[in-house]
């Protein structure tokens, strides 16, 4: 693997319709492929590390390209895309993925995430590279003109997250999100910039939002104890749908699938079904002190205890 240079532009242009998208939010808000304007702008953000890399296959006489991003304050890197699609299941594509994982380790990441479209042959490649499934997520596209239910206006209780809301939001996150997903996608301080919904003095809704030139990507986290969950979800869309006419997408993970009927009633269309995958780069190790203590316990011999009743010697 080597960094991308100007000599690779013809290959990049040739593969513009053969992109394997591995980051749904990035793809829908900024566009897939390095030639998309949103991707070019993202490379100018100083605090975000990213790499666009190239590998060459002697067998197929083709170049392979891919992109990975890593935020300095996060624990995980994410694969944005690979190309070309016809080589998604090949060994050379797996070699490129392994090189990305090594680069992520050098940056200090402890894991690498990828979101694979269900049925894509790249799923088998990632499995061979040590990736494992931790969730599934369906993405819905909300129509531009949504007829909001009359209850939505009455439950317009969404507010921007404040510092005092962090503990309540984290309590909601740890209560609803399975531990397997928490390990792969932890809720970090810098991600708490969305909206919260209060009911009876308790946070029962949290909305993460990613916006870009191509669209708005929403990920709601709603508690089943909400009195009118459909109205609460519709009220949240009031903040997003009028933004310059950009399309709005709602991501629904498997553990929140109970809100999908509401999206269906709003005439939303399923845009993508993704398998969420992660490869952990750091493995837990047993420290020397623990091993020493365990060895001592293994050599302890159990002896019977002699008990004398009261009054006897």
pLDDT at 312: 46
pLDDT of residue 150: 45
The residue with greater pLDDT, 239 or 229, is 229
Quote the DSSP letter at residue 159. E
pLDDT at 61 over 90: no
Q: Write the pLDDT tens digit of every residue in 143-153.
A: 766 555 544 44
Answer yes or no: is pLDDT of 240 > 70.
Answer: no
Q: What's the CA gap between 83 and 95, in Å, rounded? A: 13
Domain co-membership, 162 together with 232:
yes
Domain hosting residue 185, numbered range: 140-272
Q: What is the DSSP string of 167-217?
A: HHHHHHHHHHS-HHHHHHS---GGG--SEEEEETTEEEEEEEEEEETTEEE
**295 vs 62 pLDDT, higher one:** 62
CATH of the domain at 246: 3.40.630.30
What 3-state class would DSSP assign to 281?
coil
* pLDDT tens profile 189-210: 767 778 899 888 889 999 998 8
Q: Residue 305 and residue 313: Cα distance in Å, rounded?
A: 15
End-to-end CA distance of the chain: 81
Average pLDDT over residues 218-234: 88
Q: Which residue has the higher pLDDT, 32 or 270?
A: 270
Are 183 and 113 found together in one domain?
Answer: no
Kindly indicate the confidence band of residue 172, based on its pLDDT and cuts at 50, 70 and 90. very high
Number of domains within the chain: 2
Please report the pLDDT score of residue 170 as a whole number: 92
Answer whether the bond into residue 84 is a cis peptide, omega within 30°.
Answer: yes
pLDDT (tens digit, 9 = 90+) per residue, 123-170? Answer: 999 999 999 999 999 999 987 665 555 444 455 678 888 888 889 999
Could you tell me if 64 and 161 lie in one domain? Answer: no
pTM: 0.81
Task: Single out the residue in 78, 105, 130 at which a domain terminates.
Answer: 130
Query: Looking at the domain assignment, is residue 310 inside a domain?
Result: no
């Amino acid at each position: 693997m080597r960094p991308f240079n100007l000599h690779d532009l013809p290959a990049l242009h040739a593969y513009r319709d053969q992109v394997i998208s591995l980051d749904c939010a990035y793809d829908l808000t900024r566009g897939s492929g390095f030639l998309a304007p949103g991707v070019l702008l993202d490379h100018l953000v100083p605090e975000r590390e990213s790499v666009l890399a190239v590998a060459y296959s002697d067998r197929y006489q083709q170049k392979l390209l891919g992109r990975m991003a890593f935020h300095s304050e996060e624990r995980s890197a994410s694969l944005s895309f690979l190309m070309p699609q016809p080589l998604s299941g090949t060994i050379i594509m797996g070699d490129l993925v392994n090189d990305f994982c090594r680069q992520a380790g050098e940056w200090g990441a402890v894991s690498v995430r990828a979101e694979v479209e269900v049925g894509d042959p790249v799923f088998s490649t990632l499995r061979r590279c040590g990736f494992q499934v931790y969730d599934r997520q369906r993405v819905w596209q909300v129509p531009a003109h949504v007829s909001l239910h009359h209850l939505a206006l009455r439950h317009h209780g969404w507010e921007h997250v404040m510092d005092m809301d962090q503990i309540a939001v984290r309590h909601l996150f740890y209560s609803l999100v399975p531990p397997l997903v928490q390990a792969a996608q932890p809720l970090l301080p810098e991600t708490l910039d969305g909206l919260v919904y209060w009911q009876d003095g308790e946070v029962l809704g949290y909305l993460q939002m990613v916006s870009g030139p191509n669209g708005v990507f929403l990920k709601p986290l709603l508690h089943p104890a909400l009195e009118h969950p459909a109205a609460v979800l519709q009220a949240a869309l009031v903040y997003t749908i009028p933004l310059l006419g950009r399309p709005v997408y709602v991501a629904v993970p498997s553990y929140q699938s109970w809100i999908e009927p509401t999206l269906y009633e709003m005439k939303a269309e399923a845009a993508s079904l993704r398998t969420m995958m992660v490869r952990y780069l750091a493995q837990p190790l047993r420290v020397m002190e623990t091993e020493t203590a365990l060895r001592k316990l293994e050599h302890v011999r159990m002896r019977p205890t002699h008990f004398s009743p009261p009054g006897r010697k």
